[in-house]
Protein backbone atom coordinates (compact mmCIF):
# COMPACT_ATOMS: atom_id res chain seq x y z
CA UNK A 1 0.00 0.00 0.00
CA UNK A 2 1.09 3.50 -0.88
CA UNK A 3 0.72 4.74 2.70
CA UNK A 4 3.46 2.40 3.92
CA UNK A 5 6.26 4.03 1.95
CA UNK A 6 8.52 5.68 4.54
CA UNK A 7 10.23 8.91 3.64
CA UNK A 8 12.96 10.78 5.51
CA UNK A 9 12.02 13.91 7.39
CA UNK A 10 12.60 17.32 5.90
CA UNK A 11 14.69 20.10 7.35
CA UNK A 12 12.98 23.51 7.48
CA UNK A 13 15.27 26.44 8.21
CA UNK A 14 13.38 29.45 9.51
CA UNK A 15 15.38 32.63 9.58
CA UNK A 16 15.04 36.38 9.27
CA UNK A 17 16.05 39.59 10.98
CA UNK A 18 15.85 40.05 14.71
CA UNK A 19 12.37 41.35 15.53
CA UNK A 20 10.62 39.83 12.50
CA UNK A 21 9.03 37.29 14.80
CA UNK A 22 10.61 33.98 13.76
CA UNK A 23 10.71 32.76 17.38
CA UNK A 24 7.02 33.47 17.94
CA UNK A 25 6.07 31.77 14.67
CA UNK A 26 8.06 28.66 15.64
CA UNK A 27 6.44 28.54 19.10
CA UNK A 28 2.99 28.72 17.50
CA UNK A 29 3.90 26.02 14.98
CA UNK A 30 4.96 23.66 17.75
CA UNK A 31 1.73 24.17 19.73
CA UNK A 32 -0.32 21.80 17.57
CA UNK A 33 2.56 19.80 16.12
CA UNK A 34 2.62 16.01 16.40
CA UNK A 35 6.09 15.17 17.85
CA UNK A 36 6.14 12.10 15.57
CA UNK A 37 5.96 14.45 12.58
CA UNK A 38 7.61 17.75 13.49
CA UNK A 39 10.13 18.91 16.07
CA UNK A 40 12.07 22.05 16.80
CA UNK A 41 15.84 21.82 17.04
CA UNK A 42 17.13 23.40 20.24
CA UNK A 43 20.31 25.42 19.75
CA UNK A 44 23.22 25.80 22.10
CA UNK A 45 24.24 29.35 23.02
CA UNK A 46 26.86 31.05 25.14
CA UNK A 47 24.63 34.06 25.85
CA UNK A 48 22.88 34.44 29.20
CA UNK A 49 19.22 33.40 29.44
CA UNK A 50 16.66 36.24 29.07
CA UNK A 51 13.83 36.46 31.57
CA UNK A 52 11.54 33.46 31.12
CA UNK A 53 13.99 31.40 29.09
CA UNK A 54 14.75 27.88 30.30
CA UNK A 55 17.69 25.59 29.63
CA UNK A 56 16.73 22.72 27.29
CA UNK A 57 13.53 24.46 26.24
CA UNK A 58 14.56 27.70 24.51
CA UNK A 59 18.29 26.94 24.29
CA UNK A 60 20.93 24.78 25.85
CA UNK A 61 22.88 27.45 27.73
CA UNK A 62 26.57 26.47 27.72
CA UNK A 63 29.85 28.26 28.37
CA UNK A 64 32.57 29.22 25.87
CA UNK A 65 34.70 26.18 26.70
CA UNK A 66 31.84 23.73 26.13
CA UNK A 67 31.00 25.47 22.87
CA UNK A 68 34.60 25.22 21.64
CA UNK A 69 34.66 21.51 22.42
CA UNK A 70 31.45 20.86 20.45
CA UNK A 71 32.75 22.83 17.50
CA UNK A 72 36.16 21.12 17.57
CA UNK A 73 34.48 17.69 17.52
CA UNK A 74 32.37 18.57 14.44
CA UNK A 75 29.29 18.37 16.63
CA UNK A 76 27.57 21.44 15.17
CA UNK A 77 25.54 21.60 11.98
CA UNK A 78 26.16 25.35 11.92
CA UNK A 79 27.38 27.98 14.32
CA UNK A 80 27.46 31.73 14.31
CA UNK A 81 28.49 34.68 16.38
CA UNK A 82 25.77 37.26 16.90
CA UNK A 83 26.23 40.39 19.02
CA UNK A 84 29.34 38.78 20.57
CA UNK A 85 27.70 35.49 21.58
CA UNK A 86 28.03 32.02 20.05
CA UNK A 87 25.08 30.00 18.80
CA UNK A 88 25.10 26.54 17.26
CA UNK A 89 22.92 23.60 16.21
CA UNK A 90 23.78 20.18 17.68
CA UNK A 91 24.22 18.04 14.55
CA UNK A 92 23.50 14.48 15.68
CA UNK A 93 20.06 15.24 17.14
CA UNK A 94 18.91 16.75 13.86
CA UNK A 95 20.19 13.81 11.81
CA UNK A 96 18.54 11.26 14.13
CA UNK A 97 15.14 12.96 13.78
CA UNK A 98 15.39 13.23 9.98
CA UNK A 99 16.36 9.57 9.72
CA UNK A 100 13.33 8.68 11.84
CA UNK A 101 11.13 10.46 9.26
CA UNK A 102 10.47 13.46 11.51
CA UNK A 103 10.63 17.00 10.11
CA UNK A 104 13.02 19.30 11.94
CA UNK A 105 12.69 23.06 12.23
CA UNK A 106 15.83 25.12 12.73
CA UNK A 107 15.17 28.65 13.90
CA UNK A 108 18.49 30.35 13.29
CA UNK A 109 20.16 33.61 12.33
CA UNK A 110 21.02 34.31 8.71
CA UNK A 111 24.75 33.50 9.01
CA UNK A 112 23.87 30.01 10.22
CA UNK A 113 21.13 29.55 7.63
CA UNK A 114 23.53 30.30 4.79
CA UNK A 115 25.99 27.72 6.17
CA UNK A 116 23.26 25.06 6.36
CA UNK A 117 22.23 25.93 2.81
CA UNK A 118 25.73 24.86 1.72
CA UNK A 119 26.10 21.74 3.88
CA UNK A 120 22.48 20.58 3.57
CA UNK A 121 21.07 21.81 0.23
CA UNK A 122 18.04 19.50 0.63
CA UNK A 123 16.73 21.81 3.35
CA UNK A 124 13.84 24.20 2.81
CA UNK A 125 14.75 27.80 3.60
CA UNK A 126 12.09 30.21 4.83
CA UNK A 127 12.75 33.89 5.47
CA UNK A 128 10.45 35.71 7.89
CA UNK A 129 9.92 39.37 6.97
CA UNK A 130 8.49 42.20 9.03
CA UNK A 131 5.57 43.95 7.27
CA UNK A 132 7.66 47.14 7.10
CA UNK A 133 10.81 48.67 8.56
CA UNK A 134 8.67 51.05 10.63
CA UNK A 135 6.93 48.07 12.22
CA UNK A 136 10.27 46.34 12.85
CA UNK A 137 11.55 49.46 14.64
CA UNK A 138 8.40 49.49 16.77
CA UNK A 139 8.79 45.83 17.71
CA UNK A 140 12.47 46.09 18.64
CA UNK A 141 11.89 49.29 20.62
CA UNK A 142 8.85 47.74 22.31
CA UNK A 143 10.89 44.93 23.86
CA UNK A 144 12.32 47.55 26.21
CA UNK A 145 15.45 45.44 26.65
CA UNK A 146 17.70 47.27 24.20
CA UNK A 147 19.71 50.49 24.25
CA UNK A 148 19.28 53.02 21.44
CA UNK A 149 22.63 51.93 19.96
CA UNK A 150 21.53 48.29 20.00
CA UNK A 151 18.23 49.21 18.31
CA UNK A 152 19.98 51.16 15.55
CA UNK A 153 22.44 48.31 15.07
CA UNK A 154 19.63 45.73 14.81
CA UNK A 155 17.79 47.82 12.23
CA UNK A 156 20.84 48.28 10.02
CA UNK A 157 21.56 44.55 10.40
CA UNK A 158 17.98 43.77 9.38
CA UNK A 159 18.35 45.73 6.15
CA UNK A 160 21.59 44.00 5.24
CA UNK A 161 20.14 40.57 6.09
CA UNK A 162 17.07 41.15 3.93
CA UNK A 163 19.44 41.64 0.99
CA UNK A 164 20.19 37.90 1.21
CA UNK A 165 16.58 36.87 0.68
CA UNK A 166 17.41 35.38 -2.73
CA UNK A 167 19.28 32.60 -0.90
CA UNK A 168 15.93 31.43 0.51
CA UNK A 169 13.14 29.38 -1.06
CA UNK A 170 10.20 31.12 0.62
CA UNK A 171 9.45 34.49 2.18
CA UNK A 172 6.69 34.90 4.75
CA UNK A 173 5.58 38.37 5.82
CA UNK A 174 4.74 38.37 9.52
CA UNK A 175 2.06 41.04 9.69
CA UNK A 176 -0.70 39.03 11.36
CA UNK A 177 0.80 36.17 13.36
CA UNK A 178 -1.90 33.54 12.62
CA UNK A 179 -1.68 34.20 8.88
CA UNK A 180 2.11 33.88 8.95
CA UNK A 181 1.86 30.61 10.90
CA UNK A 182 -0.74 29.25 8.44
CA UNK A 183 1.57 30.14 5.60
CA UNK A 184 4.52 28.27 7.12
CA UNK A 185 2.24 25.26 7.73
CA UNK A 186 1.17 25.41 4.06
CA UNK A 187 4.81 25.47 2.98
CA UNK A 188 5.56 22.36 5.07
CA UNK A 189 2.54 20.56 3.61
CA UNK A 190 3.34 21.61 0.04
CA UNK A 191 6.97 20.53 0.37
CA UNK A 192 5.74 17.05 1.29
CA UNK A 193 3.67 16.99 -1.92
CA UNK A 194 6.61 17.66 -4.21
CA UNK A 195 7.33 15.01 -6.81
CA UNK A 196 10.33 13.26 -5.30
CA UNK A 197 11.90 9.85 -4.95
CA UNK A 198 9.09 9.00 -2.53
CA UNK A 199 6.53 9.41 -5.30
CA UNK A 200 8.57 7.29 -7.68
CA UNK A 201 8.44 4.46 -5.12
CA UNK A 202 4.64 4.79 -4.98
CA UNK A 203 4.47 4.49 -8.76
CA UNK A 204 6.39 1.23 -8.65
CA UNK A 205 3.75 -0.06 -6.27
CA UNK A 206 0.92 0.88 -8.64
CA UNK A 207 2.57 -1.26 -11.30
CA UNK A 208 2.82 -4.18 -8.86
CA UNK A 209 -0.86 -3.71 -7.96
CA UNK A 210 -1.98 -4.32 -11.51
Angle at 125 (CA atoms; ends 120, 129), nearest 5 degrees = 150
Q: How far is CA 32 from CA 98, 147, 178, 184, 189, in A?
A: 19, 36, 13, 13, 14
Q: Which range, of 1-9, 57-65, 68-76, 100-108, touches a second copy by CB under 8 A?
A: 1-9
| Contact flag: residue 131 with a second copy (CB under 8 A) | yes
What strand order describes the sheet that includes 60-61? Answer: 60-61, 44-45, 85-90, 76-82
Q: Assess 177 for contact with a second copy (CB under 8 A).
A: no
Binds a second copy by CB under 8 A, chosen from 6, 54, 118, 207: 207
Counting contacts by CB under 8 A, is residue 160 touching a second copy?
Answer: no
127 sits near a second copy (criterion: CB under 8 A)? yes
Residue whose CB is less far from a second copy, 33 or 155: 155
SS3 label, residue 41: coil
d(Cα 3, Cα 174) in Å, to the nearest integer? 35
Binding of a second copy by 197 (CB under 8 A):
no
- Three-class SS of residue 11? strand
CB nearer to a second copy: pick between 74 and 166: 166
138 interacts with a second copy by CB under 8 A = no
Q: Which stretch binds a second copy (CB under 8 A): 72-80, 106-114, 130-138, 142-150?
A: 130-138
Q: Which among 7-15, 20-28, 71-79, 181-189 is the span making contact with a second copy, rule CB under 8 A?
A: 181-189
| 50: phi then psi, degrees, rounded to nearest 5 | -80, 170
Q: Binding of a second copy at residue 162 (CB under 8 A)?
A: yes
Amino acid sequence: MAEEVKSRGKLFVISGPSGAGKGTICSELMKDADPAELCLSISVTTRAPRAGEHDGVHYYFINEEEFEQLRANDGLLEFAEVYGHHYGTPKQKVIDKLNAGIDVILEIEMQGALKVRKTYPGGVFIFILPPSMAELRKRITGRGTETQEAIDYRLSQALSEIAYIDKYDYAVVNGKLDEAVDRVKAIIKAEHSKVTEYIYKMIEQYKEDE
